[in-house]
Amino acid sequence: MEEEHGNIFTVFRFNGRMLHDIIIEATKDFSSDYCIGLDRYGTVYKVALPTGKVLAVKKLHQSEDNMLIDNLKAFESEILALSEIRHRKFVEIY
């Protein structure tokens, strides 16, 4: 599968686990100093990668198991809406 489609955990030529560690380090374990937004489902942080690329990363709030499906549907709707918006103040979704 990796040969055909590439590693599904690769983003911006980073291994997904390595990228996660970089995000944790860049935000000092999701410190409020790096918070740029907050909503019902999560908090958005500004992350500067070692490559110089700056990203917004959303960390979803943990929820009760019975709320997981509702949160997942809401999150999918949010991603779908944001992926269709083209505006200079919105970050491109990867």
How confident is the model at residue 14, as a pLDDT?
Answer: 62
Does residue 48 belong to any structural domain of this protein? yes
pLDDT digits (tens, 9 = 90+) for 53-76: 888 888 877 766 556 666 677 778
Does residue 71 belong to any structural domain of this protein? yes
**In whole angstroms, what is the distance from residue 62 CA to residue 7 CA?**
27
Count of structural domains within the chain: 1
Does residue 26 belong to any structural domain of this protein? yes
pLDDT digits (tens, 9 = 90+) for 26-53: 999 999 999 999 987 789 999 998 888 8
Give the domain range for residue 58. 8-85
Q: Is the pLDDT of residue 8 over 60?
A: no
Please report, for residues 15, 47, 61, the alpha-carbon distance to residue 83 in angstroms, rounded to integers and kept in the order given: 23, 19, 21
Does residue 53 belong to any structural domain of this protein? yes
Max mean pLDDT range (5-9, 20-24, 31-35, 85-89): 31-35
**In whole angstroms, what is the distance from residue 94 CA to residue 91 CA?**
9
Residue 14 sits in a domain whose CATH number is: 3.30.200.20
Q: Is this model's pTM higher than 0.85 or not?
A: no
